[in-house]
Amino acid sequence: MSRAISLQDVTKVYGRGVTAVDRLSMDIAPGEFVVLLGPSGCGKSTVLRLIAGLEEPTSGTVLLDGENANDWGPGERRLAMVFQHYALYPTMTGRQNIGFPLRIETPDEDPGPRVENAARKLGVQDLLDRLPSQLSGGEQQRIAMGRAIVRRPSTFLMDEPLSNLDAKLRNRLRAEIATLTRELGVTTLYVTHDQSEAMSLGDRVAVMRDGVVQQTGTAREVYQLPNHVFVAAFVGTPRINLLRARVLAPLGGRMSLDFGGQKLLLPEPLLPDHQMLRIQMGRDITVGLRSEAVRVASPQEAGPGEGALQGVVDHVEFQGHESLVHVNVGARGAAVAGLEAARRPTRRRVGRPGPLSRLLGSRAPAGGTGGPHTPGAVSTEPDGGESTEAAGRMAGNLVVRAGADVWARPGQRVPLLVDMARLYVFDERGDRVCPAPSHAPVLGPY
């Protein structure tokens, strides 16, 4: 495969022993758009800076178009960088800002036609005579991108270019960036901590964690077949439900996942994708259920059986086209190491003793933690929503997607049905056990 950018076993250790990038290998094909996604501090910008030649690798090799570029200066690399901070020259007009790199690279050429051309592509032809202070944030970022594309680079390196903009503008500009880079046929490496941006932009998404790439794949692959609980939790909104459970396999009985308060019966015979659960017998695992993998069952469907759970509605988020029903199923939530920096809680709720114990019997945990702690991967989330995200998600609550006119109301006891084909299980290290790691085809359409 021809490679525009290749990182081979690249490590970057900063002073005082901070390993920002840890033996990272990655190939990017010519014209490909790859997004580096990960929480703040995981090493994304360092990767960009290593490729741009702004940092030297401590070990390993950076190859550009197949050639070892370790000794090349930034100017020798035909790359253009676009940053979060537009860094436009305040005393120069848009035209002068865009044309600036050309005045340095080709001082004898009239930059006019190339500047006009770049401005047309970005829709800023009418703004060229304004100073940056006379432009909005989005317009300034367009001028900054014009300055990058005017040089006709072979590669774009973009470091959170949209994070200073408001949500509406961000959505519009990201669509424009995707179109523009495709039209230009330029290789792009785009850094973001925003998973929805990553999912909508890239040909491939590389999810980074602690200086390593945890998984690379299409947006669909990382969403549907996350190889690690970190990826499962980082990608997708609302965040995947992660519950602690133990695999039970009674002699002569049905295998189940025991959440403490209640059990989830597995299909019999086991689905091919669940076979690996036999190895986890008696062990604590983390169950991952995306909100679309569980539904509020109709009262007629209620009852014990495969895939059935029950819970008490905590609250219902009306979203217009659908509702997100937060259901307390009396389970322990799982906290994923390294995740919360990027997914800050926006609202804190205090855990309140619900009617769950009464409804589900005495085994429903009333509070506290419990369960083993596994350093580096998963631990039991403290009850009470310490690490909640938007909408006041409570530890151990299931967020379930439902229709806009869902009948469930807070305080109500509801039957739930789990789509067992979409059940994820992660082991104590956080590696995916189900669906089976050998699972080749991506699941059917959601």
Nearest to 176 by CA among 133, 146, 218: 146
Please tell me the distance from the alpha carbon of residue 137 to that of residue 170, in angstroms, as a whole number: 10
Task: Examine residue 281 and tell whether it contacts ligand ADP (CB under 6 A).
Answer: no
Give whichever of 17 and 445 is closer to ligand ADP, judged by the CB atom. Answer: 17
Nearest to 401 by CA among 422, 426, 385: 422
Task: Examine residue 53 and tell whether it contacts ligand ADP (CB under 6 A).
Answer: no
Please tell me the distance from the alpha carbon of residue 234 to that of residue 213, in angstroms, as a whole number: 13
Please tell me the distance from the alpha carbon of residue 116 to that of residue 133, in angstroms, as a whole number: 21
Q: What is the CA radius of gyration of the chain?
A: 25
Q: Identify the DSSP state of 393.
A: P
> Which of 20, 115, 264, 399 lies at the binding interface for ligand ADP (CB under 6 A)?
20
Please tell me the distance from the alpha carbon of residue 337 to that of residue 350, in angstroms, as a whole number: 22
Task: Examine residue 343 and tell whether it contacts ligand ADP (CB under 6 A).
Answer: no
CB 63 within 8 A of CB 10: no
Type of residue at 223: Y
Other beta carbons within 10 Å of 340: 16
Tell the smallest beta-carbon distance from residue 397 to ligand ADP (Å).
29
Task: Examine residue 89 and tell whether it contacts ligand ADP (CB under 6 A).
Answer: no
Candidates 44-52, 72-80, 103-111, 415-423 — which segment interacts with ligand ADP by CB under 6 A?
44-52
Give whichever of 14 and 446 is closer to ligand ADP, judged by the CB atom. Answer: 14
Task: Examine residue 18 and tell whether it contacts ligand ADP (CB under 6 A).
Answer: yes
Give whichever of 15 and 375 is closer to ligand ADP, judged by the CB atom. Answer: 15
> Which of 4, 24, 45, 224 lies at the binding interface for ligand ADP (CB under 6 A)?
45
> Which of 5, 7, 26, 38 lies at the binding interface for ligand ADP (CB under 6 A)?
38
Task: Examine residue 14 and tell whether it contacts ligand ADP (CB under 6 A).
Answer: yes
Tell the smallest beta-carbon distance from residue 11 to ligand ADP (Å).
12
Half-sphere exposure of 212 (CA within 13 A, CB side): 9
Tell the smallest beta-carbon distance from residue 43 to ligand ADP (Å).
4
For the record, the structure tokens of 364 come out as 């429903």
Tell the smallest beta-carbon distance from residue 160 to ligand ADP (Å).
8
Give whichever of 43 and 138 is closer to ligand ADP, judged by the CB atom. Answer: 43
> Which of 26, 42, 189, 434 lies at the binding interface for ligand ADP (CB under 6 A)?
42
Tell the smallest beta-carbon distance from residue 273 to ligand ADP (Å).
33
Find where tokens 């690279």 sit: 105
Candidates 11-19, 68-76, 140-148, 290-298 — which segment interacts with ligand ADP by CB under 6 A?
11-19
Contacts of 185 (CB under 8 A, 6+ apart): 31
Nearest to 246 by CA among 289, 291, 277: 277
Candidates 36-44, 217-225, 354-362, 383-391 — which segment interacts with ligand ADP by CB under 6 A?
36-44
> Which of 30, 31, 41, 137 lies at the binding interface for ligand ADP (CB under 6 A)?
41
Give whichever of 34 and 324 is closer to ligand ADP, judged by the CB atom. Answer: 34
282-285, long-range: CB within 8 Å, 24+ apart, which pairs? 282/246, 282/247, 282/248, 282/249, 283/246, 283/247, 283/427, 283/428, 284/244, 284/245, 284/246, 284/371, 284/372, 284/428, 285/244, 285/245, 285/246, 285/247, 285/257, 285/425, 285/426, 285/427, 285/428, 285/433
Cis ω for the linkage preceding 269 (within 30 of 0)? yes
For the record, the structure tokens of 88 come out as 């436009």
CA angle (17, 23, 29) in 5-degree steps: 135
Contact map string, positions 296 to 325, toward ligand ADP, x by CB under 6 A = ------------------------------
Tell the smallest beta-carbon distance from residue 85 to ligand ADP (Å).
14
Give whichever of 174 and 193 is closer to ligand ADP, judged by the CB atom. Answer: 193
> Which of 6, 34, 43, 161 lies at the binding interface for ligand ADP (CB under 6 A)?
43
> Which of 46, 84, 96, 97 lies at the binding interface for ligand ADP (CB under 6 A)?
46
Type of residue at 3: R
Task: Examine residue 143 and tell whether it contacts ligand ADP (CB under 6 A).
Answer: no
Cis ω for the linkage preceding 435 (within 30 of 0)? yes
Candidates 35-43, 106-114, 237-245, 246-254 — which segment interacts with ligand ADP by CB under 6 A?
35-43
Q: How many residues bind ligand ADP (CB under 6 A)?
A: 12
> Which of 6, 7, 26, 44 lies at the binding interface for ligand ADP (CB under 6 A)?
44
Candidates 12-20, 85-93, 241-249, 304-312 — which segment interacts with ligand ADP by CB under 6 A?
12-20
Give whichever of 161 and 384 is closer to ligand ADP, judged by the CB atom. Answer: 161
- Report the interface residues with ligand ADP, using CB under 6 A: 14-15, 18, 20, 38, 40-46
